[in-house]
């Protein structure tokens, strides 16, 4: 299989809007170019996908300086949830919640935004990653 056709697997750990947006851009780009994308939501990223919070303010990562933060916030790009919706529309994108993180935050499927396709364990995620890259965000 050509490298460009292998699945791209993203582990989303951080729950800040900047990192989620960067991950969503990678997802939509890979999906548009025909690569299957597996997204695995852990910890704070999973929390950001709660249906009640997904459009809320998820702050910025600590890397954002006082000078950079207002620039990032003012940028008129699309929300990461909209980019992910587009990615699912144009390509083969699976978004799965980490079973451990679901347990940690006492979440059920009903708590999550419909963008999330299901709940799976880490072994199932690694099986779908196969021999493609795994990127941790």
**Sign, CA torsion 106/80/88/27:** negative
Picking from 23, 71, 17, 22, the residue whose alpha carbon sits closest to that of residue 48 is 17
Task: Decide if 6 contacts 132 (C-beta within 8 A).
Answer: yes
User: Could you tell me the smallest distance in angstroms from the CB atom of residue 4 to another protein?
Assistant: 8
Q: What are phi and psi of 48, to 5 degrees?
A: -70, -20
Could you tell me where the beta strands, DSSP code E, fall in the chain?
A: 8-12, 37-41, 93-98, 118-120, 133-136
Residue 56 interacting with another protein (CB under 8 A): no
Task: Decide if 6 contacts 93 (C-beta within 8 A).
Answer: no
Candidate list 62, 76, 110, 123; residue touching another protein; CB under 8 A: 76
Residue 33 interacting with another protein (CB under 8 A): yes
Size of the site for another protein (CB under 8 A): 13
Candidate list 23, 28, 41, 102; residue touching another protein; CB under 8 A: 28
Residue 134 interacting with another protein (CB under 8 A): no
Residue 71 interacting with another protein (CB under 8 A): no
Candidate list 6, 22, 29, 79; residue touching another protein; CB under 8 A: 29
Candidate list 3, 62, 74, 75; residue touching another protein; CB under 8 A: 75
**DSSP-derived 3-state class of residue 40:** strand
Query: Where on the chain is the footprint of another protein (CB under 8 A)?
Result: 25, 28-29, 32-34, 75-78, 83, 86, 90
């Amino acid at each position: 299989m050509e490298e460009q056709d292998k699945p791209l697997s993203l582990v989303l750990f951080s729950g800040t809007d900047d990192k989620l947006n960067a991950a969503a851009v990678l997802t939509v780009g890979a999906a548009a170019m025909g690569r299957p994308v597996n997204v695995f939501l852990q910890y704070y990223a999973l929390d950001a996908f709660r249906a009640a919070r997904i459009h809320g303010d998820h702050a910025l990562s600590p890397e954002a300086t006082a000078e950079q933060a207002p620039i990032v916030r003012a940028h008129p790009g699309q929300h990461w949830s909209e980019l992910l919706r587009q990615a699912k529309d144009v390509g083969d994108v699976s978004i799965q919640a980490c079973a451990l993180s679901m347990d940690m935050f006492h979440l059920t499927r009903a708590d999550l935004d419909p963008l999330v396709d299901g709940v799976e364990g880490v072994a199932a995620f690694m099986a779908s990653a196969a021999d493609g890259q795994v990127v941790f965000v």
